[in-house]
Amino acid sequence: MKTPETTYDSSYYISLDYPVELSRWNEEGGGYWVAEIPDLPGCAADGETQDEALEALGEAKRLWIESRLENGHPVPEPANTQGYSGRLLVRMPKSLHRKLASQSKREGASLNMYVVSLLSGGVADAAHGAARSDA
């Protein structure tokens, strides 16, 4: 664990496993994928596919970290995710499973990544709805 007097170089932070959020954005005439690292504010990238967005995010992460260090700013370490495995077993009707599999194929995504993007969008929508109701 890092202590206040310890200085790390960019390779240390780049090697850390930061959680990534991946979402699908649709616009007239098409759509794209956005990948971002919430622990590194403003560190995001996009691409036509999930893989392109994630690949671009790797470069954005490196540049974000190097820029922070060069300018004497701290780089946060990943938020504590202890107690969360990232795995969730969900039972659903076979008809829903079939529809999700079919739609993920049309989107060019794995079923797992497609369901994660749907869940991410739903969580974001719920958070925005809660923020609006708090206003």
103 CB contacts (<8 Å, ≥6 apart)?
114
CATH of the domain at 60: 3.30.160.250
- Its domain, for residue 101, covers 90-135
Q: What is the pLDDT of residue 129?
A: 66
pLDDT tens readout for residues 93-102:
999 999 999 9
Q: What is the pLDDT of residue 6?
A: 57
Quick one: average pLDDT of 69-89? 84
Q: Global pTM? A: 0.57
Which of the listed residues 81, 106, 124 is the one where a domain comes to its end?
Answer: 81
Pairwise CA distance, residues 117 & 25, whole Å: 10
Count up the domains in the chain and report the number: 2
- Which range of 29-33, 87-91, 99-103 scores highest in mean pLDDT? It is 99-103
Same domain assignment for residues 12 and 61:
yes
Q: What is the pLDDT of residue 5?
A: 43
